[in-house]
Amino acid sequence: MIRGALDNEDPDRLYTVTGGRSRADESVFDMVTLIVSECEPVPGMQSEHARILRMCRGPLSVVEISSYLDLPVSVVKILLCDLLDTGRITARHPHAARTGGRLPEPETLKKVLVALQNL
Amino acid sequence: MHSRTSDSAVDAPLRESASDGLKIVIVGGFGVGKTTMVQSVSEIRPLSTEETMTQAGIGIDDASFVQHKTTTTVAFDFGRISLDEQMVLYLFGAPGQERFWFLWDRLFSGTLGAVVLVDTNRLADSWYALDRLEHHGTPFIVARNNFTEPQHTLEEVREALDLPPEVPVIDCDARTRDSSKNVLVTLARYLYSLSATSAVGSTV
Ligand SMILES: Nc1nc2c(ncn2[C@@H]2O[C@H](COP(=O)(O)OP(=O)(O)O)[C@@H](O)[C@H]2O)c(=O)[nH]1
Ligand SMILES: [Mg+2]
């Protein structure tokens, strides 16, 4: 189920998609950073960029974009760097994360607990 | 794999106000029920993707110390639960195998906590995952997915896995939504208690 296109991914394709760059400041994006388009695709735009802009008319996580594009998470992050640099997307970074080994505030986790109980 | 006619055909869009992605990981051996559990509670059809990492290394048995590169690829699936106007919980099902942990920091740093899904007939499958979670300091609970009538008590499972007394150990049926939801609630309650305890401790 999971294995498929990516396993046989042609390295040349990944090279082309990212313009040969490796890891810009992709670390700004978490897998669950939510991406929102700030504009519509324009003619001549790299097709992956255009696809991301269409996908993210409403907020969508980096990992969902990766799945829909069939590209590894790190490649998607590089594509997102381009779009962020040029102001074509905005990024909503996670707040409620465990950072430096510390859990979020109890109030936040209480909200998570109650929401799950009410599912 | 995901044949789509239109990119805007995103399964179920998030609400406009969604702004805070949270992560929980379900780890466990092959076939233990991770994907089943994600599917049971997710608001979207489970999706899958991959991450690859290329590491430069020097061959140790290579007398000429030639640089070579190894590419590690890890596949995982995930689902999503919108918790409120802002918070969206992403639930990842990931194999506990060795190569997966190379990517932990890149993919799963910031993860609130983990569910270690175990099959009691194959408890040894989870030792490595437990060890790595402890190493990374990620809080976890253990959920036993019962394929058949369990042969052991949960206390016996706790002992066999050498778990500290505070770590919750529960039974579940990954195929049902209520049971899978209960697993997440148990983890969330545990995380809340850990956070509340340390918050009290730090204000003293
Ligand atoms: N009888 C039974 N079958 C289960 C249970 N949970 C999962 N399965 C089945 O076990 C198989 C493997 O489950 P899957 O979720 O794909 O495992 P994964 O490799 O951990 O993702 C699937 O065919 C499931 O339908 C369970 O609680 N009871
Ligand atoms: Mg699976």
B142-176 per-residue burial string, b: 16 or more CB within 10 A, e: under 16: bbbbbeeeeeeeeeebbeebebeeeebbbebbbee
CB distance from A92 to chain B under 8 Å?
Answer: yes
The reported pTM is: 0.87
CB–CB of B50 and A72 under 8 A? yes
Cβ contact A4:B47 at 8 Å: no
Ligand number nearest to the C-alpha of B117: 1
Measured CA to CA, the distance from residue B108 to residue A73 in angstroms comes to 12
Q: B7-199 has which CATH code? A: 3.40.50.300
In CATH, the architecture of A2-118 is Alpha-Beta Complex (3.90)
Q: In whole angstroms, how large is the CA radius of gyration of chain B?
A: 19
What are the backbone angles phi and psi of residue A60, rounded to the nearest 5°? -145, 140
Which residues of chain A does B76 touch, with a Cβ-Cβ cutoff of 8 Å?
2
Reply yes or no on whether the pLDDT at A19 is more than 70: no
Q: Coil, strand or helix: which one is B159?
A: helix
Question: Which one of A34, A67, A102 has the shortest CB-CB distance to B18?
Answer: A34
Residues with Cβ within 8 Å of A33's Cβ and at least 6 positions away in sequence, in order, are A61, A62, A91, A92, A93, A94, B21
Interval B130-145: pLDDT, tens: 999 999 899 999 999 9
Provide the percentage of residues in chain B whose pLDDT is more than 70. Answer: 85
> Residue A6: pLDDT band by 50, 70, 90 thresholds?
very low
Residue B72 CA to residue B97 CA, distance in Å, equals 12
For residue range B61-100, list pLDDT tens digits in order: 555 555 667 787 889 999 999 999 999 999 999 887 777 7
Judge whether B189 is closer than 8 Å to chain A, CB to CB: yes
d(CA B180, CA B37): 6
DSSP string across A28-95 = G--TT-EEEESS---TTS-HHHHHHHHHTTS-EEHHHHHHHHT--HHHHHHHHHHHHHTTSEEEE--S
Ligand 1 pocket test target in B36, B47, B115, B116 with most atoms within 8 Å of CB? B36
Phi, psi angles (nearest 5°) of residue A96 = -90, 70
Percent of chain A with pLDDT over 70: 80
Residue B137 in contact with partner chain A when CB distance is under 8 A = yes
Task: Provide the residue ranges of all domains of chain B, joining segments of one domain with +.
Answer: 7-199
Cα–Cα separations (whole angstroms), residue A71 to A17, A114, B14, B120, B186 = 10, 35, 21, 36, 34
Q: Domain segments of chain A: what residues?
A: 2-118
Of B4, B66, B168, B22, give the one whose Cα is nearest residue A112. Answer: B22
Burial class (CB in 10 A: 0-12, 13-18, 19+), A1: exposed
Q: Which residues pair with B37 in a beta bridge?
A: none
Angle at A60 between CA A57 and CA A61, to 5 degrees: 155
Q: Whose CA is nearest to atom 3 of ligand 1?
A: B147
> By the 8 A CB rule, do B114 and B101 touch?
no
Residue with tokens 């559990």: B37
Structure confidence at residue A43 as a pLDDT band (50, 70, 90)? very high
**Chain A contact for B12 (CB, 8 A cutoff):** no
ipTM score over 0.90, yes or no:
no
**Residue B177: pLDDT above 70?**
yes
